[in-house]
Amino acid sequence: MTDVPAELTPRAQQTRAAIAAAALALFRERGYDATTMRDIATRAGVSTGNAYYYFGSKEDLVQEFYVLAHAEHLAASAAALAGEADLGARLRATVRALIDVSAPYHAFAATFYKYAAEPSSPLSPFSKESSPARDGSIALYREVVDGSTARMSREVRERLPELLWLYSMGVVLYWVHDTSADCERTRHLIDVTAPVAARLVAATRIPMLRSTVADLAQLIDDLRS
């Protein structure tokens, strides 16, 4: 990722935001492959060199999209979580908010996903480059858990946010391929599975299932390493 000054002037912040907005618009209009950095610079009204100063590549611009999308998701979730203590309802609201803020990018996501799905790609949500957005999302699911009245062991509470993030990634994969009107099938999937997830969390208080969660957490650690 291109190094840019940590403290940008207001004008520089405007320029950077304009470049990111131009890139997202072109990705949606032309697709990721057909869009060049020169195209992005022209749309943003800056030189190609200036575009490269703020973003070293199209991949960096996608990482910016991840960060911006997470900020939108965070804001959309805040209202949905306020005053709600049931874990299933909190999870449902948060994942539905993710689909809502992603809706304008559905067509782009369908063509772009082949890059994000490549394990070695820096655009993968599991990559080192994607860690800021990923860590932010896991922190949001920690808020989902900690703000609920659900009872669980310390071990489950510690690992559950990452498991819920993985669940949300599965929903996103389904959404990418959902051709139903307004992605209603995805919304139905969330409505059905979020309460089930909450019931499974409650069931982890049973010793046998508690060990299953531990095994799952160990599997995730093994895959990550």
Q: Which domain holds residue 73?
A: 58-224
Same-domain check for residues 169 and 214: yes
Same-domain check for residues 132 and 207: yes
Q: pTM for the complete prediction? A: 0.84
d(CA 123, CA 188): 28
Domain boundary among 23, 40, 56: 56
Same-domain check for residues 83 and 152: yes
Q: Work out the widest C-alpha separation in the chain, in whole angstroms.
A: 62
Q: How confident is the model at residue 217 (pLDDT cuts 50, 70, 90)?
A: low
* pLDDT one-digit tens code per residue, 133-157: 999 999 999 999 999 999 988 888 9
Same-domain check for residues 2 and 91: no
- Report the pLDDT value the prediction gives residue 212, as an integer from 0 to 100: 67
CA distances, 18 to each of 6, 12, 35 (Å): 18, 10, 16
Same-domain check for residues 12 and 92: no
For residue 209, is pLDDT > 70?
A: no
- Report the pLDDT value the prediction gives residue 98, as an integer from 0 to 100: 96
Q: How confident is the model at residue 225 (pLDDT cuts 50, 70, 90)?
A: low
Computed over every residue of the chain, the mean pLDDT equals: 88
Residue that wins the pLDDT comparison between 210 and 178: 178
Query: 3-state DSSP call for residue 137?
Result: helix
Range 101-109 average pLDDT? 86
Which residue bears the tokens 């920690």? 142
d(CA 20, CA 209): 45
Same-domain check for residues 138 and 39: no
Range 168-183 average pLDDT? 94
Residue that wins the pLDDT comparison between 124 and 217: 124
Domain boundary among 9, 32, 56: 56
CATH number, domain of 180, equals: 1.10.357.10
Lowest-pLDDT choice from 35-39, 86-90, 158-162 = 158-162
| 112: nearest Cα among 96, 125, 99, 100 | 125
| 28: nearest Cα among 113, 99, 105 | 105
Residue positions counted in the chain: 225
| 98: nearest Cα among 145, 161, 141 | 141
Same-domain check for residues 49 and 108: no
Same-domain check for residues 75 and 90: yes
Same-domain check for residues 49 and 71: no
Lowest-pLDDT choice from 40-54, 146-160, 188-202 = 146-160
CATH number, domain of 41, equals: 1.10.10.60
Domain count, the chain: 2
Same-domain check for residues 125 and 199: yes
For residue 195, is pLDDT > 90?
A: yes
Domain boundary among 56, 86, 101: 56
For residue 4, is pLDDT > 80?
A: no
Range 204-214 average pLDDT? 69
Same-domain check for residues 39 and 75: no
Report residue 59 as tokens. 């991949």
Same-domain check for residues 51 and 62: no
* pLDDT one-digit tens code per residue, 55-73: 999 999 989 988 889 999 9
| 66: nearest Cα among 127, 15, 10, 107 | 127
